[in-house]
Amino acid sequence: MFDIGFFELLIIMAIAVIVIGPKNLPRLAKSIGKGWGEFQSTFNDLKKDVMDEAEGLRQSTDIDKLEQDIGAATKVDVDVNLSMNDINYDSKPSDQEKS
């Protein structure tokens, strides 16, 4: 994710031990872990709320039926275009008829 190698991680840990101190490092790691857990929990709740709202909108607007209707209309349009092409092709005089 951050593309940090083993050597870079060792340097960061050494700097953390020097700056924070070996006595406070476990407490800081615990605080960071707790904060990260709360962040993930909040993010998952937000994600669930957004997904629930999207599903509610999908059900209230009946998007599935609209998608089916659009698909059917597109199929009809393609069929009409193919039929028109066949009619145009059939109505053009062939080389044998021109002679």
User: pLDDT digit string (tens) for 56-79?
Assistant: 887 777 777 888 888 888 887 777
> Which region holds residue 3: left if phi is over 0, alpha if psi is between -120 and 50, else beta?
left
The answer to whether 37 touches 31, Cβ cutoff 8 Å, is: no
For residue 82, is it within any domain?
A: no
Confidence of residue 11 (pLDDT cuts 50, 70, 90): very high
**Domain count within the chain:** 1
For residue 31, is it within any domain?
A: yes
Does residue 35 surpass a pLDDT of 80?
yes
CA–CA separation, 32 vs 29, rounded Å?
A: 5
pLDDT at 63: 75
For residue 33, is it within any domain?
A: yes
Q: Which domain holds residue 26?
A: 15-39
